[in-house]
């Protein structure tokens, strides 16, 4: 089992004098992507318990980005967009089974990231970079969809969420991969998650894998891209024993404290190796905090609702950029950004041409990072196949509003907006406002509480700009083939590559392809 002492040991034994640090003149890239972590979960964003000293220090040494968004309020589509630089409606990570429904990649999903999408590590590989993903992939679990088939050179983590434990008869436990082969399964042996105590060493595994990769690349002087996608803050939450009981916020807070420790270890490694000025690091989250977890989840600060919704709490992410010697420390940028911008920004900094045969929704933030220049751009908030809202400048217009279904709310007690009741907004049926959008000024009203009246001069001046942005977007929209429509138990993780060597292959049931059901 990996422990804190092993992480420290790996650092202490490493001899920095043997390193080569030129990386062929190229910049290294790291994305520290949290899972279901809300905008209000960091001390620097106002969390009153101040339990994230390393993330807060990262902001003090770097650039704070309070107007940063995911491309979707749910994990799989958001991650597909980060790596492709394209909205889910373009890269296929949506469903048409029911309008406006969120969909992701449970282990019975038949689809995954299409070969037609050119992912960031594929382009970086062509220019001498080595890439590694650590943690949750979530872009399809069948062999053709796994990370090593889409540009990554190394993989340590899982293709799906760490749900379970399962009985391995009706549902298999999720495999943990070491590169192309499974190394075990969640809830079995060294990859256990104790639901009673919340104890698991997974985050420590992820920290060690990240540090080992950085050290190995530094030894070789080979540029790298590290995608560190730890998932301890996604239910069921977990933390290793030294962190359990440390937070005033319970198990979720324990997980945050350990992730904060991991961020600190990774940044300290870059400094220790003398490569911090060669490495651009972004910290963010895949979507907003899951408020339906009630007191067992995160915080979206002052924003409305959370994960699964296209209100600000569902898609506004806690984001920090860190690049010592390049980014002026202690600054705040009002640039409206997106996880999709990592794609175009990294390519721009690396001097790699972006694909010309497709629309990219990300923009390059290079000028903003180095010179604090701002780029005016719209943000499109999609839920499934439905364009729900648009932000232009400081204004946001809702074309559709919906929290979640009345059936879920009344019969199952599922509420994506607990304690937040706003007429025409946090509703339990989809409401169409395309003829007269609901307009809000996010600079003054970040909680989306006070609708700008349609007969006001402000509304009449702003709405034409937003409608023009929507018109241009839809006129040039070429939808990708939907990947999240069909499910089949036969494609679950019964017999992943490498299972035979471990004695962990399971019998595959007969195929039974059917439409997936997406309630949200």
Whether 75 is catalytic = yes
d(CA 108, CA 341): 30
- Tokens 């009981």 sit on residue: 245
3-class SS of residue 138? coil
d(CA 35, CA 52): 16
d(CA 466, CA 500): 56
CA-nearest of 399, 390, 449, 398 to 419 is 449
Largest CA distance in the chain: 70
What's the number of CA atoms in the CB half-sphere (13 Å) around residue 239? 21
Q: C-alpha 37: how far from its chain's center?
A: 9
Distances (CA, A) of 26 to 63, 160, 498, 519: 21, 32, 35, 46
- Residue 191's Cβ-count burial label (10 Å; 0-12, 13-18, 19+) is buried
Distances (CA, A) of 513 to 98, 110, 207, 487: 17, 8, 38, 6
CB 430 within 8 A of CB 99: yes
Whether the CA torsion 78, 81, 83, 85 is positive or negative: it is negative
CB 151 within 8 A of CB 159: no
CA-nearest of 385, 498, 390 to 438 is 390
CB 451 within 8 A of CB 426: no
Q: Which of 75, 417, 487, 499 is catalytic?
A: 75
Q: Which residues contact 30 (CB under 8 A, 6 or more apart)?
A: 225, 226, 227, 228, 266, 279, 280, 281, 282
Residues in the chain: 520
d(CA 304, CA 296): 18
Whether the CA torsion 440, 311, 365, 482 is positive or negative: it is negative
Tokens of 496: 């992943």
Whether 520 is catalytic = no
d(CA 75, CA 36): 8
Q: Which of 138, 150, 162, 234 is catalytic?
A: 138
Residue 515: how many other CB atoms lie within 10 Å: 12
Backbone angles phi, psi at 448, to 5 degrees: 55, 50
- Which residues have a catalytic role annotated? 75, 138
């Amino acid at each position: 089992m990996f422990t804190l002492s092993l992480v420290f040991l790996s650092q202490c034994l490493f001899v920095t004098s043997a390193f080569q640090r030129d990386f062929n003149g190229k910049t290294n890239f790291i994305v520290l992507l949290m899972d279901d972590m809300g905008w209000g979960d960091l001390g620097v964003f106002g969390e009153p318990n101040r339990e994230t000293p390393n993330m807060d220090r990262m902001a003090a040494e770097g650039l704070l980005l309070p107007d940063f968004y995911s491309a979707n309020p749910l994990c799989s589509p958001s991650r597909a967009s980060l790596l492709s630089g394209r909205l889910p409606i373009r890269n296929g990570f949506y469903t048409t089974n029911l309008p406006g429904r969120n969909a992701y990649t449970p282990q019975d999903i038949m689809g995954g990231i299409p070969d037609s999408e050119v992912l960031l590590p594929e382009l970086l590989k062509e220019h001498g970079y080595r890439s590694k993903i650590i943690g949750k992939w979530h872009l399809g679990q069948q062999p053709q969809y796994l990370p090593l088939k889409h540009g990554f050179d190394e993989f340590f983590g899982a293709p799906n969420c760490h749900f379970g434990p399962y009985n391995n008869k009706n549902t298999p436990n999720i495999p943990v991969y070491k590169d192309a082969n499974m190394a075990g399964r969640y809830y079995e042996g060294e990859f256990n998650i104790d639901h009673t105590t919340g104890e698991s060493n997974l985050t420590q595994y992820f920290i060690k894998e990240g540090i080992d990769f950085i050290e190995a690349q530094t030894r070789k002087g080979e540029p790298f891209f590290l995608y560190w996608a730890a998932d301890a803050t996604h239910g069921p939450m977990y933390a290793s024993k030294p962190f359990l009981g440390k937070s005033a916020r319970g198990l979720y807070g324990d997980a945050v404290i350990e992730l904060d420790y991991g961020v600190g270890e990774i940044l300290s490694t870059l400094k220790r190796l003398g490569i911090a000025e060669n490495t651009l690091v972004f910290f963010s989250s895949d979507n907003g905090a899951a408020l339906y977890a009630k007191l067992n989840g995160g915080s979206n600060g002052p924003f409305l609702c959370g994960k699964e919704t296209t209100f600000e709490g569902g898609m506004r992410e806690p984001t920090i950029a860190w690049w010592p010697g390049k980014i002026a420390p202690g600054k705040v940028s009002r640039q409206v950004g997106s996880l999709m911008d990592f794609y175009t920004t990294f390519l721009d900094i690396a001097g790699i041409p972006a694909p010309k045969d497709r629309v990219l929704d990300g923009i390059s933030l290079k000028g903003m990072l180095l010179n604090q220049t701002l780029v005016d751009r719209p943000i499109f908030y999609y839920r499934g196949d439905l364009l729900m809202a648009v932000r232009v400048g400081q204004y946001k217009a809702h074309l559709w509003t919906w929290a979640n279904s009345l059936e879920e709310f009344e019969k199952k007690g599922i509420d994506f907006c607990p304690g937040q009741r706003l007429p025409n907004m946090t509703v339990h049926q989809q409401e169409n406002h395309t003829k007269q959008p609901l307009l809000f000024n996010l600079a003054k009203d970040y909680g989306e509480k006070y609708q700008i009246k349609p007969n006001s001069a402000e509304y009449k001046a702003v709405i034409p700009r937003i409608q023009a942005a929507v018109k241009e977007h839809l006129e040039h929209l070429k939808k990708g083939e939907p990947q999240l429509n069909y499910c089949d138990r036969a494609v679950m993780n019964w017999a992943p590559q490498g299972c035979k060597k471990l004695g962990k292959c399971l019998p595959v049931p007969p195929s039974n392809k059917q439409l997936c059901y997406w309630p949200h």
